[in-house]
Amino acid sequence: MGLFIDLAINNETCKGIQECGECIEVCPVNVFQDEGGSLQTVYDNEDECTLCDMCIQKCPVDALAIVKHY
């Protein structure tokens, strides 16, 4: 969990890294990572999120949300 921002992943709808992985590709600050085939966030990088919205736009199944704590 970031101090200011959490990137919430809906793992029920996420297509998975093998099939998709778009969010990993587009994020300029490496918020997402492949952890043994499962999509996870890098907690230390969540607060680096630039709010560029690229991951949300690229996600084909709306599995991502930015949760602001401010």
State which H helix or E strand residue 69 sits in.
none
Residue 44: count other Cβ atoms within 10 Å of its Cβ. 10
Q: How far is CA 8 from CA 25, 28, 35, in A?
A: 17, 17, 16
Using CB under 6 A, which residues numbered 6 to 65 contact ligand SF4?
7, 9, 14-15, 17, 20-23, 26-29, 31, 39, 49-55, 58-61, 63-64
Beta carbon nearer to ligand SF4, 50 or 68: 50
Q: Residues interacting with ligand SF4, by CB under 6 A?
A: 7, 9, 14-15, 17, 20-23, 26-29, 31, 39, 49-55, 58-61, 63-64
